[in-house]
Amino acid sequence: MKYDDASWHYGGDFPKDLASEKGATHMAMFVSWCLLNNFAGSIHTEEFPEALGALKTRELSPTNWFIQNCDEKFTDEDLDVIGNKFAAYYYESEDGLFYEDYESAAGEGAKTLYHIEDSWITFDKLAPVLSKRFDEWSAIEG
């Protein structure tokens, strides 16, 4: 199952002043958080552990890593069972708060969601919010 795809974002009303890669930044931040919190799917842990190691050591920005290793697509293969359940609840669902949290935690001063900077600074602003949401979800899920 595909949760998201950068190509879905850089068409249509995507800001003309931005590179198409900016359509992947929000996904990259979420997927990076999941993988760095041990919710990686076997494609990352078993098939490409070196790439996962590069994410852990922050060799690339979250978006550059995501583009190189996920082909600009966020799918259920990226996550393990728990990660997918959380993604379905928080990222994918109509009631999910990911985009709202993403913009409020990382988007201060950004013109649009797509103008949010792809950096580890941005990730570090967003990570505590994602951890809090995961903890809230875990309490509900039992």
**Residue range 7-23, pLDDT digits in tens:** 888 877 788 888 888 98
Average predicted confidence (pLDDT) for the chain: 94
More confident residue, 141 or 60: 60
Q: Which two tokens stand for residue 131?
A: 């951890």
CA–CA separation, 11 and 92 (whole Å): 20
Rounded to 5°, the CA angle 41-100-128 comes to 60
Q: How many folded domains does the chain comprise?
A: 1
In a domain, 15, yes or no: no
**Quick check: is 111 in a domain?**
yes
Q: Domain range spanning residue 26? A: 2-10+20-141
Q: What type of residue is 4?
A: D
Residue pair 23/114 in contact (Cβ under 8 Å)? The answer is yes
Asked whether residue 80 is domain-assigned, the answer is: yes
Residue 68 covered by a domain: yes
Q: Summarize the confidence of residues 114-129 as an average pLDDT.
A: 97
Residue 100 lies in a domain: yes
